[in-house]
Amino acid sequence: MPELPEVETIKRGLELVLPGKTIEGVDINYAGSIKAPSCEEFARQLPGLTFTGAGRRGKYLLLCLDDNSLLVVHLRMTGRLFFCESEIETDKHIHLKIIFKDGSRLYFHDVRKFGTIWWLPVSRACEIRGLAALGPEPLSADFDVSYFNSKTDRRSTNIKALLLDQTFVAGLGNIYVDEALHKSGILPTRPAKSLTTPERKKLITSVQEVLLDAISWRGTTFNDYRDAAGMSGQFQNRLSVYQRHHKPCLSCGTFICRTVVAGRGTHFCPSCQS
């Protein structure tokens, strides 16, 4: 599933190509992808609008249009959003095609069909419940020890589940939580409230370093993720623990273990993490 670094990479790619593109037409091939408004309204009202920029909040892509509206895209499991200068050969997984006046196109491709798209005025973005409920951005100054303390001390949840909780911090998923916990030397099963202040500081820094490193390598591709130009990421070659079970830890040589924490496959080093 695309996480913050993948969505950020797509956003940066779209930022380079979308501003100034005026919509000529919209082809919807799978109505289930469009959450709001109705498909008819979506296809009728988007033509004539021009993209002005691209943003991101957590794992949500926010594409800005010149009438103060947003095209909000959540890729979920297998969604891809990519731009092409001209028509490409499409398959049955292309659920939405936006055709621009200059002949270029924006495609939404989604094998599992869990991805979701909304078009709404900026002022109504808070009606998207998951978006409105997001915690702070992990790369912002708001994600600090005092915030961490304010949210953890009464909870008995384990640290992995807490980091996956989008209302605690936005944009993390299974890959980067496992990587950040390894980098900070903390076991995923540790109760969040048991973390010492130095551990909390180290974890916040580790989350930020892992995310920035992954963004610089344009995200992680195992199967589905592609950037806005349709290219794979490279961070899968830089992972320390995720999907490395039965391989030696890059820090200490101990074999990486896999277990299930918070309902998710979880990778950790039994020597480096405690």
Residue 269 sits in the site that holds Zn ion (CB under 5 A): yes
User: Given the complex with Zn ion, which of 169 and 272 has the nearer CB atom?
Assistant: 272
Residue 185 sits in the site that holds Zn ion (CB under 5 A): no
From residue 107, how far is each of 14, 80, 142, 158, 233 by CA, in Å? 12, 8, 34, 39, 18
| Total of residues contacting Zn ion (CB under 5 A) | 7
Check if 59 is active-site.
yes
Residue 239 sits in the site that holds Zn ion (CB under 5 A): no
Set 11, 57, 59, 151: catalytic member: 59
User: Given the complex with Zn ion, which of 48 and 270 has the nearer CB atom?
Assistant: 270
Judged by CB under 5 A, the residue of 53, 185, 251, 257 near Zn ion is 251
Check if 151 is active-site.
no
Residue 123 sits in the site that holds Zn ion (CB under 5 A): no
Residue 271 sits in the site that holds Zn ion (CB under 5 A): yes
User: Given the complex with Zn ion, which of 254 and 259 has the nearer CB atom?
Assistant: 254
49 backbone dihedrals φ, ψ, rounded to 5°? -80, 150
Judged by CB under 5 A, the residue of 16, 132, 212, 252 near Zn ion is 252
Question: Among 86-94, 135-143, 186-194, 248-256, which window interacts with Zn ion (CB under 5 A)?
Answer: 248-256
Residue 126 sits in the site that holds Zn ion (CB under 5 A): no
Question: Among 20-28, 121-129, 234-242, 265-273, which window interacts with Zn ion (CB under 5 A)?
Answer: 265-273
Three-state secondary structure along the chain?
CCCHHHHHHHHHHHHHHCCCCEEEEEEECCHHHEEECCHHHHHHHCCCCEEEEEEEECCEEEEEECCCEEEEEECCCCEEEEEECCCCCCCCCEEEEEEECCCCEEEEEECCCCCEEEEEEHHHHHHCHHHHCCCCCCCCCCCCHHHHHHHHCCCCCEHHHHHHCCCCCCCCCHHHHHHHHHHHCCCCCCEHHHCCHHHHHHHHHHHHHHHHHHHHCCCCCCCCCCCCCCCCCCHHHCCCCCCCCCCECCCCCCECEEEEECCEEEEECCCCCC
Nearest distance in Å: CB 251, Zn ion:
4
Nearest distance in Å: CB 257, Zn ion:
10
Question: Among 12-20, 44-52, 117-125, 251-259, which window interacts with Zn ion (CB under 5 A)?
Answer: 251-259
Residue 270 sits in the site that holds Zn ion (CB under 5 A): no
Check if 3 is active-site.
yes
Set 155, 238, 258, 264: catalytic member: 264
241 backbone dihedrals φ, ψ, rounded to 5°? -130, -35
The residues that are catalytic are: 2-3, 59, 264
Residues of the shown chain interacting with Zn ion in the complex, contacts defined by CB under 5 A: 249, 251-252, 254, 269, 271-272
